[in-house]
Amino acid sequence: MSKKIVVFVIIIFSFLSVLIIALIGTLPDNVSVNLEEIIISPESYDGYKYENNEDGTVTSIKIKDLKDIVTDSNLSFDLYYELTLPAAFEAGLREKYLDEEEYLKERSRILSILREDIDVVSDLNFRVDYNSNRITLIFDLSDLKKTFDVKIVSKKNQGISDHVLLYFKKDGESGIE
């Protein structure tokens, strides 16, 4: 009877050790680097709106006219963004991976982990495609005359962000007021 119990216990421990090894093998790598910047891609905005602050400084805001893009028949807009790593970290990667293909593969792997740190703040409905750095903004028909601020932020560091002001230019209007 005791031999059966010993064999049973050994089988249970063997099974548990295989499960633990499988679990540890599927855990994501810990990346100790943070994002340097989140930048809305130039194709996702038209230009800048400048505002004078009370302290005499000027703030520039990225703007995008959606009048001819978002219509009754197309109620979505794709906003693209880029993530940048600190220059020192990039240089370290280049030293470690001399082969360009290996460097790009490792950089892509690190960015794929950091993409999950991204959050979007907007009054619009949206879907985030982390693989292609794309946010699809979904509008209602009632939204076609409104202005929206879309902000992309880092969950870990709220100071790392970028935003764009989306609006629908009215006929005869030169830009956003």
Residue 101 has pLDDT above 70, yes or no: yes
Sequence-ordered list of residues with C-beta below 8 angstroms from that of 40, at least 6 positions apart, any chain: 62, 79, 80, 81, 152, 162, 163, 164
On whether the CB atoms of residues 14 and 24 are closer than 8 A, the answer is no
Q: How confident is the model at residue 22 (pLDDT cuts 50, 70, 90)?
A: confident
Instruction: Decide if pLDDT at 152 tops 60.
Output: yes
Length of the chain: 177
Strands 58-65 and 161-167: parallel
pLDDT of residue 165: 93
174 pLDDT above the threshold of 70: no
Does the pLDDT of residue 30 top 70, yes or no?
Answer: no
Q: pTM of this prediction?
A: 0.72
Q: Where are the domains of the chain?
A: 33-167
